């Protein structure tokens, strides 16, 4: 009752009690879950997991659940195991075993569903098959963990995030359920408060915050990170505040009975938190992070500060209208341009008394009143009233300041003084693919605006875009960034525009600005889902919503700037910086809703596009104070005259009224769900394009090529599952041509080739694996792409006897066979250095320190040599088909190894003895032929004849041969491919063996089963 006495009304008491009850229920649920996680039971589950699925020992089991797996309409009761890289299920009932292993990177869709048979279940779509799991005691918890693991896999394997700042996720061998939950909470925390990516949620405390402008305590949670203290209400007031630790000057514990503490900040500002559980520990934590001493020798000053803080609190409670709040501390770093372009090219006339200017001044006055009540700067209170003012429109003079504040860019700039100036200096004069693209697009950025018709605006735009490309080469430069940056430069100073661009590209619109624009495609899928939910009439008329995806792409990429006049588009940008992507989605729905009747009656897509274009031309901003020279002209005046004008403020207000109930949490959840489908669709497109290229030159069927590609891609990822710094991840570059996106290094290649080669002559530890790798690596870059891999297999599976023999023959010639392996006592073992030793001998490139050859320079820094690509294509076009006469002759050492390879191939065959005799006969025949030919060509002395006669004997003894001692022998005799082919054609047993058909389907099926086991055995 003592706690309830602080409330002023019964509504506040009811809200507090309801919140407490919900909190107790949640705490009770957490307790029950903790009790279920018995270490002994988990160890037993881990043993079962390892026994049943035979995955590599490194695979980390995260958690497990009892559930039912549905096969058709029949449920199988068993256990669901969730590990770092795999979703596994096992059931054994009445003699029937069900085993399922799905890797997270293969999942197309993951969602909660319900139907007539299954009231609530989890649906997983992978490899075109639907899997349903139900009867889960904690279905929501299970789904969240599955969603987190899938998201972690996508970010690690496709987005190549290293999670360096998050120890819980930096090592895939140490992933835990608790670590995943902490990561998800930190991500949600950063998104809500617009904090830098470096921040992690460390502590959460439930408390009350005294809100001076409302004269009451609001219930909420204190969220503490490394550098920020944040508070968000939970009583429906939508109030939150962000306090940078750099602004805190002291923390005082007030009254022990109320468990309160007061945070004092620069600018004579203080916040009072009460009913904080563990308030003493929280106060000490804040002090330590701010570097504030609480030692006895500072007791006098502490008392003085405490008195000052208490007087401030009393003043706030009695006179909220007189509160003076802190203004964000300005960064001292020097920007290249210190004024926003709008200030330079359209300075405001203070004495102008036109209606639009008067309305503009009224807006400014409204915001000034808001600042006096809620604060101004980094620690301003964000409330419903703030959003209402945003919807009405932001004054031109305050736009840059508010964009910086709402986006969180103000904190980035304050914590990185001088960073932009350094980037400008470092990037000055650089020439890359990104800088070339930037130069090409500079004069296409708002060309109708006077600011970008002069060198001042163009130079500022060039500096910002080039500096960002230098800072983030992973993104570099992407089209649409120029349009967005142009608008930012109009209202923000140059350095502020740079940090606003950082906030948009790296936090607010993740994965938007890259080659595959995955983020924009994901948000388009979210937009389609919202259309289905909110505009059913439109869905009934247009069943294929992909049309809206193609039309709306520019809406998302440019925040409507490319389709709306600039004076209207900036109002949309205002809402975006406050509400994020939610504002763009709402406005998109409002646009379709406004034109619903016309869209339903249209006959085709072209007519629908015309309707939307006319609508955007009719959108105006009646309150804009900008002169006509700055405002964009309409595309067609006649069309505008025939279409009623729509005010942007009314359109935005309608969007918030009709669709403002869209929750940010639901949007983020939909993003995660659709991201899986978008990425897999792009991956499938890559696969289809690769198969289309390869299928023209091999005899594999389309289905076999599909299976081969899946095996090839999986082999690539198998080397990435258990480490964060796998060289294979560096090989994968989605910006490369389709064929080069997935490539295998030697270790990856040898494992997969040993599973697929038809004669079991080339295990993963054999030197032959290295020779095959060297032979098919046509461009000698130390990597094999899918096309090269398929050519080799197609020759061994479906090639003629001549082609198969030619492949084996070339296997023992340079660059495949580069020396005598006879000095190795164990032929099965390759020295570690052998893996990359062949690379260092090739003069075409230098091997980097990490042993990985980067086929293309990093985007944004390296420049692509287009001439080299053209020359390569020309060479491929003009390349003549190799004839048997073009193949070099094979010398003594190479021929001995060639004979051994044939023996290895025949080992284990039913006709092994016959084949051995045939090879021995051919070898003897070739040696005699060479001896006769040499005698006929070079009349030799008896001593030379003796030497020649002794040569085969020396070869059979397999004695070590030094280079200096074998030069004479190698010059004495060698064989051409024609001689070897002609001799072997006379042996029907050998011909039958090589022409024996291979069951490709069975071979691929066996490889699928054995691929994971091979990795586990290693």
User: Helix/strand/coil (H, E, C) string of 425-482?
Assistant: HHHCCCCCHHHHHHHHHHHHCCCCCHHHHCHHHHHHHHHHHHHHHHHCCCCCCCCCHH
Strands 619-620, 646-647: pairing is parallel
Q: Mean per-residue pLDDT for 789-817?
A: 93
Beta strands in 3-143 (DSSP E): 61-71, 74-83, 86-93, 96-103, 107-113, 121-126, 129-134
Decide if pLDDT at 265 tops 80: yes
Q: pTM of the predicted model, to two decimals?
A: 0.81
* Mean pLDDT, rounded, for 282-298: 73
pLDDT of 765 reads: 67
- Which residues make Cβ contacts (< 8 Å) with residue 99, sequence separation at least 6? 52, 53, 88, 89, 90
Q: Is-contact 773 746, C-beta < 8 A?
A: yes
Percent of the residues in the chain that have a pLDDT greater than 90, as a whole number: 48
Q: How far apart are CA 99 and CA 57, in angstroms?
A: 18
Query: Residues 470-480: pLDDT tens digits?
Result: 999 888 999 88
Q: How many CB atoms lie under 10 A from the CB of residue 321?
A: 9
- Helix H or strand E segment including 795: helix 786-798
**Residue 1007 pLDDT exceeds 50:** yes
Lowest mean pLDDT among 88-102, 156-170, 217-231, 288-302: 288-302
- Spatial neighbors of 144 by CB under 8 A, at least 6 apart, are 184
% residues pLDDT > 70 (the chain):
78
Query: Can you give the pLDDT at residue 234?
Result: 85
Residue closest to 634 by CA, chosen among 608, 613, 610: 613
Mean pLDDT of 576-588: 95
Q: Which one has a higher pLDDT value, 781 or 852?
A: 781
| Whether pLDDT at 960 is above 90 | no
Q: For residue 961, what pLDDT is reported?
A: 39
What's the pLDDT score for residue 945? 42
pLDDT of res. 886? 83
Q: Residue 131: which pLDDT band, with cuts at 50, 70 and 90? A: very high
For residue 246, what is the DSSP state? Answer: G
Say if residue 995's pLDDT is above 70.
yes
Give the Cα-Cα-Cα angle 958, 960, 962 (nearest 5 degrees).
135
Q: How many C-beta neighbours within 10 Å does residue 333 have?
A: 15
Question: Which tens digit of pLDDT belongs to each residue from 365-383?
Answer: 999 999 998 989 888 999 9
* Measured distance CA(897)–CA(817) in Å, rounded: 9
Least confident range from 68-72, 697-701, 966-970, 982-986: namely: 966-970
Half-sphere exposure of 823 (CA within 13 A, CB side): 7
Check residue 279 and give its pLDDT: 86
**In a 3-state reduction of DSSP, which class is residue 69?**
strand
Whether 987 has a pLDDT exceeding 90, the answer reads yes
Give the residue with greater pLDDT, 861 vs 390: 390
Q: For 94-108, 315-329, 888-902, which range has the lowest pLDDT when averaged over its residues?
A: 315-329
What pLDDT shows up at residue 16?
56
Give the mean pLDDT of 544-573.
90
562 has pLDDT over 80: yes
Average pLDDT over the chain, rounded to whole?
Answer: 81
- Round to whole Å and give the CA distance between 632 and 642: 19
User: CA angle at residue 375 from 371 to 378, to 5 degrees?
Assistant: 120
Contacts of 434 (CB under 8 A, 6+ apart): 466, 469, 473, 476, 477, 859, 860, 861
| Vertex 942: Cα angle to 940 and 944 (nearest 5) | 60
26 has a pLDDT exceeding 90: no
User: Three-class SS of residue 277?
Assistant: coil
Distance CA 144, CA 412 (A): 31
Residue 970 has pLDDT above 80, yes or no: no
Total length of the chain: 1018
pLDDT (tens digit, 9 = 90+) per residue, 639-672? 444 457 899 999 999 999 999 999 988 999 999 9
Spatial contact of 289 and 245, defined as CB atoms under 8 Å apart: yes
Q: Which band of pLDDT confidence, cut at 50, 70 and 90, is reported for residue 579?
A: very high
Preceding omega of 158 cis (within 30 degrees of 0): no
pLDDT at 557 exceeding the cut of 50: yes
- 996 CB neighbour count, 10 Å cutoff: 10
Confidence band for 293, pLDDT divided at 50, 70 and 90: low
Q: Collapse the DSSP code of 333 into the 3-class scheme (helix H, G, I; strand E, B; otherwise coil) and give the result.
A: coil
Closest CA to 839 of 727, 914, 692: 727
CB 686 within 8 A of CB 518: no
pLDDT bin (cut points 50, 70, 90) of residue 846 is very low
- CA atoms lying within 13 Å on the CB side of residue 413: 30
Most distant CA pair in the chain: distance in Å? Answer: 122
Q: Kindly tell me if the per-residue pLDDT of 483 is higher than 50.
A: yes
Sequence-distant contacts of 154-159: CB under 8 A, at least 24 apart: 154/104, 154/105, 154/675, 154/676, 154/679, 156/720, 156/724, 157/105, 157/717, 157/720, 157/729, 158/105, 158/679, 159/511
Provide the angle, in degrees to the nearest 10, between the axes of the packed helices 912-937 and 977-985.
Answer: 130
- Return the number of other C-beta atoms located less than 10 Å from residue 759's C-beta: 19
* pLDDT value of residue 96: 86
Is the pLDDT confidence value at 798 over 90?
yes
d(CA 951, CA 972): 9
- 3-state class of 802 per DSSP? helix
State mean pLDDT over 528-535.
93
pLDDT at 22 over 60: no
Per-residue pLDDT of 752-764, as tens digits, reads 999 998 987 776 5
Say yes or no to pLDDT of 819 above 70: no
């Amino acid at each position: 009752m003592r706690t309830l006495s602080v409330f002023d009304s019964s509504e506040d008491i009811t809200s507090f009690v309801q919140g407490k009850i919900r909190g107790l229920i949640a705490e009770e649920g957490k307790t029950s879950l903790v009790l279920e996680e018995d270490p002994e039971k988990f160890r037993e589950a881990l043993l079962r997991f390892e026994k049943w699925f035979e995955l590599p020992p490194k695979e980390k089991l995260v958690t497990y659940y009892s559930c039912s797996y549905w096969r058709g309409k029949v449920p199988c009761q068993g256990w669901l195991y969730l590990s770092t890289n795999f979703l596994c299920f096992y059931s054994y009932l009445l003699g029937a075993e069900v085993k399922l292993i799905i890797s997270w990177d293969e999942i197309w869709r993951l969602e909660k569903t319900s139907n007539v048979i299954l009231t609530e279940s989890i649906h997983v779509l992978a490899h075109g098959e639907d899997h349903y799991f139900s009867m889960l005691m904690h279905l929501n918890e299970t789904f969240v963990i599955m969603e987190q693991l899938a998201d972690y896999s996508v970010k690690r394997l496709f987005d190549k995030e290293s999670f360096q700042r998050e120890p819980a996720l930096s090592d895939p061998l140490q992933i835990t359920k608790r670590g995943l939950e902490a990561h998800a909470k930190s991500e949600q925390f950063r998104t809500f408060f617009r904090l830098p990516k470096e921040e992690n949620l460390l502590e959460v405390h439930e408390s009350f915050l005294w809100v001076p402008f409302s004269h009451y305590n609001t219930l909420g949670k204190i969220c503490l990170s490394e550098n920020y203290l944040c508070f968000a209400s939970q009583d429906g007031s939508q109030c939150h505040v962000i306090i940078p630790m750099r602004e805190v000057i002291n923390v005082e514990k007030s009254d022990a009975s109320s468990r309160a503490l007061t945070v004092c900040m620069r600018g004579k500002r203080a916040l009072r938190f009460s009913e904080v559980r563990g308030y003493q520990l929280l106060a000490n934590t804040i002090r330590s992070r701010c570097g504030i001493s609480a030692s006895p020798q500072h007791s006098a000053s502490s008392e003085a500060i405490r008195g000052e803080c208490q007087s401030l609190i009393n003043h706030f409670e009695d006179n909220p209208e007189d509160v003076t709040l802190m203004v964000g501390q300005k960064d001292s770093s020097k920007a290249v341009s210190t004024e926003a372009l709008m200030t330079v090219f359209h300075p405001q006339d203070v004495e102008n008394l036109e209606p639009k200017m008067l309305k503009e001044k009224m807006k400014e006055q409204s915001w000034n009143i808001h600042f006096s009540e809620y604060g101004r700067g980094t620690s301003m209170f964000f409330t419903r009233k703030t959003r209402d003012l945003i919807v009405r429109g932001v004054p031109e003079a305050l736009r840059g300041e508010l964009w910086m504040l709402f986006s969180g860019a103000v904190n980035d700039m304050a914590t990185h003084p001088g960073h932009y100036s350094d980037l400008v200096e470092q990037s000055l004069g650089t020439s890359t693919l990104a800088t070339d693209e930037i130069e090409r697009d500079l004069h296409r950025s708002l060309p109708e605006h006077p600011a970008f018709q002069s060198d001042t605006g163009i130079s500022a735009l060039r500096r910002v875009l080039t500096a960002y490309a230098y800072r983030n080469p992973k993104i570099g430069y992407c089209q649409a960034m120029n349009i967005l940056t142009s608008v930012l430069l109009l209202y923000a100073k140059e350095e502020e525009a740079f940090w606003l661009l950082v906030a948009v590209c790296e936090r607010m619109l993740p994965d938007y600005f890259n080659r595959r624009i995955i983020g924009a495609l994901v948000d388009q899928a979210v937009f389609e889902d919202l259309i289905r939910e909110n505009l059913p009439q439109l869905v009934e008329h247009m069943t294929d919503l992909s049309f809206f995806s193609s039309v709306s792409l520019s809406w998302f990429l440019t925040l409507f700037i490319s389709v709306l006049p600039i004076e209207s588009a900036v109002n949309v940008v205002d809402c975006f910086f406050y509400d994020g992507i939610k504002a763009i989605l709402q406005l998109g729905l409002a646009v379709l809703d406004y034109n619903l009747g016309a869209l339903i009656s249209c006959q085709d897509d072209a007519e629908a596009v015309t309707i939307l274009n006319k609508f955007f031309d009719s959108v105006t901003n009646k309150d804009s104070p900008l002169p006509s020279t700055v405002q964009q002209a309409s595309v067609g005046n006649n069309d505008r005259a025939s279409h009623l004008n729509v005010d942007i403020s009314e359109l935005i207000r309608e969007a918030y009224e009709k669709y403002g109930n869209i929750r940010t949490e639901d949007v983020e959840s939909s993003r995660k769900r659709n991201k899986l489908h978008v990425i897999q669709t792009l991956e499938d497109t890559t696969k289809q394009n690769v198969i289309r290229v390869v299928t023209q030159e091999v005899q594999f069927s389309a289905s076999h090529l599909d299976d081969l590609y899946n095996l090839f891609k999986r082999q690539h990822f198998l080397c990435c599952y258990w480490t964060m710094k796998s060289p294979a991840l560096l090989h994968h570059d989605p910006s490369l041509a389709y064929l080069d996106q997935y490539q295998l290094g030697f270790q990856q290649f040898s494992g997969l080739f040993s599973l697929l080669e038809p004669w079991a002559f080339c295990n993963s530890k054999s030197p032959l694996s290295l020779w095959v790798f060297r032979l098919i690596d046509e461009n000698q870059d130390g990597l094999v792409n899918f096309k090269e891999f398929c050519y080799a297999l197609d020759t061994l599976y479906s090639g003629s006897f001549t082609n198969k023999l030619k492949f084996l023959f070339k296997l023992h010639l340079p660059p495949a066979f580069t020396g005598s392996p006879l000095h190795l006592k164990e032929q099965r073992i390759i020295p570690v250095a052998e893996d990359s030793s062949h690379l260092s001998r090739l003069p075409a490139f230098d091997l980097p320190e990490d042993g990985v050859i980067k086929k293309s320079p990093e985007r944004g820094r390296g420049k692509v040599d287009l001439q080299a690509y053209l020359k390569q294509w020309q060479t491929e076009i003009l390349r003549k088909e190799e004839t048997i006469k073009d193949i070099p002759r094979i010398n003594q050492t190479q021929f001995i190894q060639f004979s051994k390879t044939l023996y290895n191939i025949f080992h284990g065959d039913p006709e092994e003895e016959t084949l051995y005799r045939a090879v021995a006969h051919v070898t003897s025949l070739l040696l005699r032929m060479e001896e006769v030919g040499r005698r006929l060509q070079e009349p030799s002395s008896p001593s030379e004849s003796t030497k020649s006669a002794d040569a085969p004997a020396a070869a059979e003894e397999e004695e070590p041969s030094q280079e200096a001692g074998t030069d004479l022998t190698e010059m004495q005799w060698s064989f051409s491919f024609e001689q070897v082919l002609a001799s072997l054609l006379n042996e029907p047993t050998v011909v039958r063996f090589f022409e024996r058909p291979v069951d490709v389907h069975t071979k691929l099926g066996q490889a699928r089963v054995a691929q994971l086991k091979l990795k586990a055995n290693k």
